[in-house]
Structure 1
């Protein structure tokens, strides 16, 4: 069996095509995980992991992924402004396993001691994905922190060039109130 062939791929499918499909499925898992974080939709986060998965969150948490998801279920609804971007995704397929590295750029608006500030952080996720029962999911995730930059909160919408009245803007919300959930209906 070659690195792109595996026991659950469609018989007689071109191995290069199967590899592309596998990589796209893994990329979708990564992106839906981050949608889950941004929209406080922990069902999406939980769906990214196998039931016995391990989460090592860069020194902040280490243990079963389901306990990590439960912790996020408590915290994420209170994180009003937060966005994650996944980039530089490198996927190395090895049968029904994949070694995946991705960069995660996270923005969040925070408040400490009454002062609002914006925080921009870059981390890398080093994941071991496994295909089980035909589905690619995370078996082990290790997060590595790269850098962080905190800055004063200065939401001026391009100093008024985007809008002078931000109350008219359609803003992102948490599940189920965000437009992405209404658009599915």
Structure 2
């Protein structure tokens, strides 16, 4: 099937929404997560949360600032366009570090999201999301950074952080001047 330029642009906008959502989860930026949804959207987070996406975002605003280190990889994205509606499926491979003192562990989780997107007022956003949990693997924390070959002195290493302390939110990025912001996403 050959896609038109308009269809390619639609697909890219939908993919940008998915990737921005992942960034929001990782950086603890609930505004990015909120921007992924239409105001009346439904979120079914694999049975863990089912209800209005606005309520889900409200929960995330409380949880994310103190949440553990996380990395969401959004992959295997498929998008089926149908006018101003689209159905997407993507996989989120999520790594998180769970600090439990002596019982700390790393968790690797695969989940799959099936999203019904709608274009309203020229903007694609999620109207209904359903998430399915695929698998999970837990392992003891074993962070050696290549046994010291990647980062010999961790005291000098710049680490990722939550909003506003992450490098993404520094003035050097120009984001405070509007550079690098997605339309509809807050800085």
Q: TM-score, normalised by structure 1?
A: 0.89
1:163-174 equivalent positions in 2, closer than 5 A: 163-174=151-162
Q: Is residue 76 from structure 1 mapped to residue 69 from structure 2 by the alignment? A: no
8 A contact 2:70–2:96 mirrored in 1: yes
Q: Is residue 126 from structure 1 mapped to residue 123 from structure 2 by the alignment? A: no
Match of 1:156 in 2: 144
Q: 1:37 aligns with which of 16, 25, 28?
A: 25
Between 1:170-179 and 1:53-62, the stretch displaced more is 170-179
Q: Is residue 115 from structure 1 mapped to residue 103 from structure 2 by the alignment? A: yes
Measured after TM superposition, the shift of residue 170 of structure 1 is 1.1
Q: TM-score, normalised by structure 2?
A: 0.88
Q: 1:50 aligns with which of 8, 13, 38?
A: 38
Structure 1 stretches (4+) deviating beyond 4 angstroms? none
1:135-150 equivalent positions in 2, closer than 5 A: 135-150=123-138
Between 1:76-85 and 1:111-120, the stretch displaced more is 111-120
Between 1:101-110 and 1:167-176, the stretch displaced more is 167-176
**CA distances 1:12-33 after superposition (whole Å, capped 9, x unpaired):** xxx7000000000000000101
SS at match of 1:59: coil
Q: Specify every segment of 5 or more residues in structure 1 that has no aligned partner in the other structure, as ranges.
A: 5-14
Match of 2:10 in 1: 22
Q: Specify every segment of 5 or more residues in structure 2 that has no aligned partner in the other structure, as ranges.
A: 177-187
- Structural RMSD (CA): 1.4
Measured after TM superposition, the shift of residue 112 of structure 1 is 3.9
Q: Is residue 98 from structure 1 mapped to residue 86 from structure 2 by the alignment? A: yes
